[in-house]
Amino acid sequence: MKSANKPKEVPSIQGKLISLTGLFVTVVFWSQGTDPFNLPKLALLTVGAFALLGSLFDFKIIHRVEKLPAILIGIFIVALINSFIFSGAPKLQMFFGAYSRNTGFLDYFALAVLFLGATTLRKNSDFLRIQKFFFIALAVVIIVCILEISGINIQKVNLTFKGSLIGTFGNPNFVSAYLGMGGTAVFAVLLGWKKNLLQRAFFILPLVVIALLILRSNSRQGIVVLIGGCAFVFFFYLRSLNKTKILQALYLGIIGVVGVFSIAGALKKGPLAEVIYKNSVAFRGEYWNAGIEMFKSHPFAGVGLNSYGDWYRTLRSSSAIISPGPEVFTNTSHNIYIDYAAAGGLPLFAAFLAIVVLTLISVVRFIKRNKEFDGVYFSFLGAWIVYLVQGIISIDQIGLAVWGWILPGVLLAYERKNKNIQLNTESELQTLKSKKSKVEENTLIEASILIKILASIIVALIIVIPVVKSDFDVRKAYDSTSAELLIAAANQWPTNNYKVANVTGLLINNNLGKESLELANKGIKEFPRSYDLWKLIYFNSLAPIEQRKLALKKMSELDPLNPNVLAELAKQ
């Protein structure tokens, strides 16, 4: 009877919006456009973050925002604006992000809002809801992967990575990294579950499935971060058992040795080299080096948000011409930390790092105060640590980044709530409980808050609908093979470098050199560092000789070490 009369704690509107945004950004994809994975995630992230932003404009919520996280997020957004204004990169490219990445101003602003909103959470029901929706998203990804293995192409896209899994992310590396995050969270819950060994054994099944799917993805980074994440979480479980410090030190020593051998193996050294090393690791070294050069040459504003691809050819090293090769191109450094530094210079990199450090300090405080193993907390912490680690060798894909920003905000809120509970005396807690039992929580959203949320969603839709429609229209134009539709779609606002260059190439391949040249000339005004557009102008026989010479000069400036460009220069 007691439990029947006890009012159920209702999650806050912020908790509901954050959990729903995390779920949908992770699992949603579509096949109507040319970008089935990244663009829908950006659209849903924007809508969810703006709805959350609208809900935060309330006095009862605003006072929950701690000063330091708010200040750091403010600095982060100012650093984004600094890069947007002073880097000199194309504004549309910086705002919406490069094609197939979409990690521009809009993405980072939305992620910052999610982080800030998560820091305001105070209810147990909020934390449990976010954990629940994280696992629902994980379950959906697992189901999609199993359907893939069964030969059911639920994504309805051409599977570029034959024999590998792409899940809801479009790339084996992303899905394996996400499964590594999810598997670590599952392991933490398993350890913290207050059940007997037989009941816990049943919970091992999803862990086994996750490990098998990671292996099937043919991406080794997932299994490495899963093992590392589980080892990290297990240390705190071992600590909670009050085992001797000698045992804990021995465990850390073993983990340290394995970690050193793993890093050496990734660098093609030591006994684990055969297992861990892949050629793509060597390529990443070249991508990192180019990103570092961008940071060094543009330390105050960076080369521009999501504009790495405009500078990769210019600043890559001579060894990159040998491997991965002169015509191999990338628009990201494959390292989220270097990407921040390259895109926004020192201000953006420092702001992001400060947010990470602030969260880690909070984690240390929580661990010092709590000797017990909290499965909920360590599921959040383990998944976030995996995100940070995989970010050393991976891209900040939106489906991963949404949790990479939600979770640190949740960790800060959880630690604050735990601290407040411990500061209360036993009598104060009893008073709070008795008051809570007498008051039914209002499950309805206040009209003023609802209006702000709806208004914010409308603003978000106004922002994202044009870019989604543009992508859909390009896909229709590709399917129609109509030159008129292709040109119209390429010129449709908002434009992007990939769309313009791709249509320009299609036109010239179909003997429409005049139309191709007109489109290239228009595109080069918006994207002056587009190597592809200058190349298409150079090889267009209808281009005036002086313009072709200019195009070759620009190609040489943008890709000074490319032997193919140097060979063309030698012909002049």
pLDDT for residue 155:
83
Percent of the chain with pLDDT over 90: 73
Question: Residue 172 pLDDT > 90, yes or no?
Answer: yes
Question: Residue 45 pLDDT > 80, yes or no?
Answer: yes
pLDDT for residue 437:
40
And the tokens for 81?
Answer: 């604006």
Q: Averaged over 254-268, what is the pLDDT?
A: 68
pLDDT for residue 265:
62
pLDDT for residue 426:
43
Question: Residue 272 pLDDT > 80, yes or no?
Answer: no
Convert the pLDDT of each residue in 282-334 to its tens digit. 788 899 999 999 999 999 999 999 999 999 999 999 999 999 999 999 999 99
Alpha carbon distance 397, 45 (integer Å): 12
pTM summary value: 0.93
* Range with the poorest average pLDDT among 67-76, 177-186, 440-449: 440-449
| 429 or 76, higher pLDDT | 76
Angle between the N-to-C axes of helices 336-369 and 398-423, in degrees from 0 to 180, rounded to the nearest 10: 20
pLDDT for residue 270:
62
Convert the pLDDT of each residue in 218-256 to its tens digit. 888 888 899 999 999 999 998 888 766 777 778 878 777
Q: Averaged over 259-288, what is the pLDDT?
A: 68
Phi, psi angle pair for 110, to nearest 5°: -65, -40
pLDDT for residue 444:
61
Question: Residue 448 pLDDT > 50, yes or no?
Answer: yes
Beta-carbon contacts of residue 361 (< 8 Å; ≥ 6 apart): none
Q: Averaged over 413-420, what is the pLDDT?
A: 88
Q: Averaged over 169-186, what is the pLDDT?
A: 95
Give the pLDDT band (50/70/90) at residue 151: confident
CA 550: distance to chain centroid?
Answer: 38
Alpha carbon distance 124, 128 (integer Å): 6
Alpha carbon distance 165, 181 (integer Å): 16
Convert the pLDDT of each residue in 349-373 to its tens digit. 999 999 999 999 999 999 999 989 9
Averaged pLDDT score across all residues of the chain:
89
Beta-carbon contacts of residue 386 (< 8 Å; ≥ 6 apart): 177, 180, 181, 184, 225, 226, 228, 229
Question: Residue 199 pLDDT > 90, yes or no?
Answer: no
Question: Residue 438 pLDDT > 50, yes or no?
Answer: no
Of 450, 466, 358, nearest in space to 17 by CA: 450
Task: Please give the torsion angle defined by the CA atoms of residues 221, 223, 228 and 229, in that order, rounded to the nearest 10 degrees.
Answer: 100
Q: What is the 3-state secondary structure (H, E, C) of 380-434?
A: HHHHHHHHHHHCCCCCCCHHHHHHHHHHHHHHHHHHHHHHHHHHCCHHHHHHHHH
CA 264: distance to chain centroid?
Answer: 27
Q: Averaged over 72-81, what is the pLDDT?
A: 98
Output the CA angle 162-473-541, nearest 5 degrees: 80
Question: Residue 277 pLDDT > 60, yes or no?
Answer: no
CA count, 13 A, side-chain hemisphere, 146 = 10
What does the DSSP assignment read for 304-324? -TT-HHHHHHHH--HHHHHTT
Q: Averaged over 430-449, what is the pLDDT?
A: 54
Amino acid code (one letter) for 321: I
Please name each of the domains of the chain with its CATH number.
2-242+278-435 (no CATH), 481-571 (1.25.40.10)
What CA–CA distances, in Å, run from 387 to 174, 335, 356, 572? 11, 12, 12, 50
Q: Averaged over 78-101, what is the pLDDT?
A: 97
| 112 or 254, higher pLDDT | 112
Alpha carbon distance 145, 166 (integer Å): 7
* Range with the poorest average pLDDT among 70-84, 146-160, 230-244, 494-508: 146-160
